[in-house]
Amino acid sequence: MKVLKFGGTSVADAPSIKLVKDIVADTVTDKTVVVVSAFGGVTDLLLHAALLASVQNADYKDVLKDIEVRHLNAVKELIPITAQSQVLSRVKSDINTLETLLEGAYLIKEITPRLSDKIVSYGELLSAYIISEYFLQEGMDAAYKDSRELIKTNEDAGKASVLFESTNVNCTTYFSEVENRIIVLPGFIASSENGNSTTLGRGGSDYTAAIVAAAIDAEVLEKWTDVSGMFTANPKLVKQARAISNISYEEAMELSHFGAKVLYPPSIQPVLAKGISIHIKNTSAPDDAGTLITKNKNEKGKTVRGITHVANMALLSLEGPGMVGVPGISKRFFEVLSRADISVVFITQASSEHSICVGISADDVDIAVEVVNTSFQYEIERGKIKSAIAERGLSIIALVGDNMKHHQGLSGKMFSTLGRNNVNIRAIAQGASERNISAVIIESDVKKALNALHEEFFEENIKQLNLFVMGVGNVGAKFLEQVREQRKFLKENLKLNLRVIGISNSRTMVFDEQGIPLKDWESRLAEGKKANKIGFFERVQQLNYRNSIFVDNTDSDAVASTYNSYLANSISVVTCNKVACSSAYENYKELKDLARTYNAPFLFETNVGAGLPIIDTLKHLIASGDKILKIQAVLSGSLNFVFNHFDDSTTFHDVVERAMAEGYTEPDPKIDLSGIDVMRKILILARESGNRLEISDIENKPFLPQETLDTHNNEDFFASLKKHEADFQKLYADAQKADSKLKYVAQYEDGKASVGLQQIPKGHDFYNLEGSDNIVLFYTKRYPNQPMIIKGAGAGADVTASGIFADIIRIGNF
């Protein structure tokens, strides 16, 4: 004999019930017991209708109407017209009874637990009846049996206790006598010795199936549901979760106790005692292997089997000096909770005995505070103990596995993963069985915590990086293109999975939690909402993804001023925007400190030398104990381009115009030619070398005439260049005479920095610098004479985008 249980989603409507029929018809065994839930959502509707009626809200009639329509529709779709009338009239008669019960509640303005049980029982009664009639019409040898005649309980309405002795006898007698091959039973409902309808608690159809399976010594209990087994985490919250093929009873129980709703915890008990396996299967994917739950302990080596959470929790704590060393306080505390029928899900007590803290359902917390305060009134009035404190809006997350006790470091790994993702832990407990490690966290962090832990423990080190990109001009667009091209490679080779969740330019912004498809980000962005920098941050914060990275490809002050908000929320920042790092030292320092405090990298490699690894190298030198003595560099790709193309056969004006046309200068070329851009870069290098420097401390000997520097727009600027052509030609001629080339050099030594045009003699490292290349010479304690040299293309959208990309990979490997 086999027992097959179909949950609410498996019997939600006619099409799903047809799948159920196929599964039952394909089952090979002598006798099949089919336990069904109410049609998906119907129990909730019935409870809702009862509640409305009990407060004399006539809307309960609409709810009842919905329930009626759903059942009548199912009958019409499943049963041939010729046989419909008898089934329809039975359904209508049940609905009439329900209506009478609800009217009763409406009139007396009350719903007793017993009446509530009577009302909800119709969910399962109707579904089991309709399904059995459908089976018969399909030519199956099926019978309907009311489980209230088999399963006996005490009178505790709402969640009655099963009287196993009579129940087992009823089951063995009935199933040994019944001749039909398929018996359809309503789950969840039972009856008391006095004949009152009772229920086994929410999710109780699993229990019905287990009770019957144990009573008749079934070969297996198959639980058919809407997922392909028990998953490593709730698949609705963790996309990467996967089905666990084999699991022990104890582990399954622990997982379901901690929220893996796929199994109702008490349901394991009866089959566990008999050693009957439970097979969890997916009704809409019957070929999937599912999860087999058996008494076998889990195979060697596997430590963490699943990650779960229980929502809607609260912490209740009692503390005060009067608790230290006083025996019996905990006993009284737990007793008073138990007397109020409040179950304690979680316990922690600090070793100082100064406080006790327990996790309870948020629904119980008001009563809990009241009963605890009443019980400790004497101590509270005398200031020995403080009034009980309740904290709501929490969840428990738990790692579960039989073998966890044999392994050190799992909890360390769990808490460092949570810490890295800025998940605040409110309390911690490790079950005595050491089959779980659990922590209480804030409800809004649950999804992030589950995903981060899942990634850490199950995903073979594939790490997901969630990108939020602001600015899609030259650099930003190139960057998105590179991400698109590299995604597959990164996933396969570096085990990094990049997802762009948000994109914004100055006009619009768009978010997609599944990741924005990068082949059409432009159209998605165009259809986005009106852009707003603060709104963008708030959305990133609200999405609360692990490994979130904010990428700034703009040159905007306003964007730079939002970095602190990101970092303070443990969101990394990668930027090619120089504003933040070259602003006031205090601001730069604040950002660096935030990054350290909140464990969120703040990377800006592209601020100096585009894609060249200049800042990264500097950091490595310093971290390994080296000391920077001097930096000499050509850091302006634009100025290098200009002076490499300028000679007496052309004009300075024309060369600058060309550099601008070819995209080598800032939109305002004066920023480059005045040296301001280079000042910012050497400032950043000086700061990264450990010096507290302001931009005003940097010496700048401009080569542009004052009048050119004073212009206010590009037109005047270019006119002024033309006017002063003779000055520029003289600079060139003087350099020629000295057998030198003109280079715009930045220098830093002994805490002082300067920038300016210099004549570079033949043989110098800078002499042959081509095109728009950059070069940096680091003279350090370890490289005192022959400097460490970094040289290469230092400007252009392509290399800048690749520098941003490199920073993101650095974070991925962090």
Which residues are known to be catalytic?
Answer: 681
**Residue span 206-245 as binding mask against ligand ASP, x where in contact by CB under 6 A, dash where not:** x---------------------------------------
Query: Which residue's CB is nearer to ligand ASP, number 37 or number 674?
Result: 37
Look at residue 188 and give the partner it binds from ligand ADP, Mg ion, ligand ASP, none, a contact being a CB closer than 5 to 8 Å depending on partner kind.
Answer: ligand ASP
**Region of 669 on the Ramachandran plot (φ > 0 left; ψ -120 to 50 alpha; else beta):** alpha
Distances, alpha carbon 681 to alpha carbons 608, 676, 684, in Å: 5, 9, 5
3-class secondary structure per residue, 169-223:
HHHHHHHHHCCCCEEEEECCEEEECCCCEEECCCCCHHHHHHHHHHHCCCCEEEE
Q: Does 203 sit near Mg ion (CB under 5 A)?
A: yes
Cβ burial 497-516 (10 Å sphere, 16+ → b, else e)? bbbbbbbbbeebbbbeeeeb
- Residue 197 sits at φ, ψ, to 5 deg, of -70, 135
| 24-43 residues near ligand ADP, rule: CB under 6 A | 37
Q: Does 7 sit near ligand ADP (CB under 6 A)?
A: yes
Report, in Å, the least distance between residue 586 CB and ligand ASP: 59
Report, in Å, the least distance between residue 202 CB and ligand ASP: 4
Look at residue 123 and give the partner it binds from Mg ion, ligand ASP, ligand ADP, none, a contact being a CB closer than 5 to 8 Å depending on partner kind.
Answer: ligand ASP
DSSP-based three-state secondary structure for 750: coil
Query: Which residue's CB is nearer to ligand ASP, number 126 or number 501?
Result: 126
Q: Does 476 sit near ligand ASP (CB under 6 A)?
A: no
- Could you tell me which residues come within 8 angstroms of residue 74 by beta carbon, excluding any fewer than 6 positions away? 13, 14, 17, 39, 130
Strand partners, 442: 394
SS3 content of the chain, % helix, strand, coil (to 5): 45, 20, 30
**Residue span 248-277 as binding mask against ligand ADP, x where in contact by CB under 6 A, dash where not:** ------------xxx---------------
Q: Where are the beta strands (DSSP E) in 618-751?
A: 628-634, 699-701, 740-749
Report, in Å, the least distance between residue 37 CB and ligand ASP: 3
Is 449:397 a contact under the CB 8 Å cutoff?
A: yes
Query: Which residue's CB is nearer to ligand ADP, number 37 or number 780?
Result: 37
Q: Does 803 sit near ligand ASP (CB under 6 A)?
A: no
Take residue 113 and report the two structure tokens written for it. 């637990």
Look at residue 401 and give the partner it binds from Mg ion, ligand ADP, ligand ASP, none, a contact being a CB closer than 5 to 8 Å depending on partner kind.
Answer: none
**Region of 593 on the Ramachandran plot (φ > 0 left; ψ -120 to 50 alpha; else beta):** alpha
**Residue span 274-313 as binding mask against ligand ADP, x where in contact by CB under 6 A, dash where not:** --------------------------------x-x-----
Choosing from 168, 225, 582, 640, the residue that interacts with ligand ADP (CB under 6 A) is 225
Nearest to 498 by CA among 466, 451, 540: 466
If you ran DSSP here, which 8-state letter would residue 327 be given? T
Q: Does 186 sit near ligand ASP (CB under 6 A)?
A: no
Size of the site for ligand ASP (CB under 6 A): 13
**Residue span 116-145 as binding mask against ligand ASP, x where in contact by CB under 6 A, dash where not:** -------x----------------------
Part of the chain binding ligand ASP (CB under 6 A), chosen from 49-57, 203-211, 302-310, 611-619: 203-211
Q: Does 205 sit near ligand ASP (CB under 6 A)?
A: yes
Q: Does 609 sit near Mg ion (CB under 5 A)?
A: no
Look at residue 290 and give the partner it binds from ligand ADP, Mg ion, ligand ASP, none, a contact being a CB closer than 5 to 8 Å depending on partner kind.
Answer: none
Q: Does 187 sit near ligand ASP (CB under 6 A)?
A: yes
Report, in Å, the least distance between residue 291 CB and ligand ADP: 8
Distance CA 341, CA 359 (A): 14
Part of the chain binding Mg ion (CB under 5 A), chosen from 125-133, 199-207, 343-351, 441-449: 199-207
Distance CA 535, CA 663 (A): 32
Size of the site for ligand ADP (CB under 6 A): 20
Choosing from 105, 120, 190, 227, the residue that interacts with ligand ADP (CB under 6 A) is 227
Take residue 773 and report the two structure tokens written for it. 């290349």
Report, in Å, the least distance between residue 402 CB and ligand ADP: 16
Choosing from 2, 3, 4, 9, the residue that interacts with ligand ADP (CB under 6 A) is 9
Report, in Å, the least distance between residue 359 CB and Mg ion: 23
| 30-89 residues near ligand ASP, rule: CB under 6 A | 37-38, 43
Q: Does 611 sit near Mg ion (CB under 5 A)?
A: no
Distance CA 403, CA 408 (A): 11
Q: Does 123 sit near ligand ADP (CB under 6 A)?
A: no
Look at residue 234 and give the partner it binds from Mg ion, ligand ASP, ligand ADP, none, a contact being a CB closer than 5 to 8 Å depending on partner kind.
Answer: ligand ADP
Distance CA 234, CA 242 (A): 9
Task: Count the alpha carbons within 13 Å of 480 in the hemisphere toward its beta carbon.
Answer: 25
Nearest to 200 by CA among 163, 225, 166, 170: 163
Is 400:407 a contact under the CB 8 Å cutoff?
A: no
Choosing from 236, 339, 627, 701, the residue that interacts with ligand ADP (CB under 6 A) is 236
Choosing from 3, 8, 95, 605, the residue that interacts with ligand ASP (CB under 6 A) is 8
Look at residue 502 and give the partner it binds from ligand ASP, ligand ADP, Mg ion, none, a contact being a CB closer than 5 to 8 Å depending on partner kind.
Answer: none
Distance CA 153, CA 253 (A): 23
Written as one string, the DSSP assignment of 254-312 is HHHHTT-TTS-GGGHHHHHHHT-EEEEEETT-TTS--EEEESSPPPTT----EEEEEEE
Cβ burial 25-62 (10 Å sphere, 16+ → b, else e)? eeeeeebbbbbbbbbbbbbebbbbbbebbbeeeeebee
Burial (Cβ within 10 Å: 0-12, 13-18, ≥19) of residue 301? exposed
Look at residue 226 and give the partner it binds from ligand ADP, ligand ASP, Mg ion, none, a contact being a CB closer than 5 to 8 Å depending on partner kind.
Answer: ligand ADP
Nearest to 314 by CA among 261, 372, 362: 362
Report the interface residues with ligand ASP, using CB under 6 A. 7-8, 37-38, 43, 123, 187-188, 202-206
Report the interface residues with Mg ion, using CB under 5 A. 7, 203
Report the interface residues with ligand ADP, using CB under 6 A. 7-10, 37, 203, 225-227, 230-231, 233-236, 260-262, 306, 308
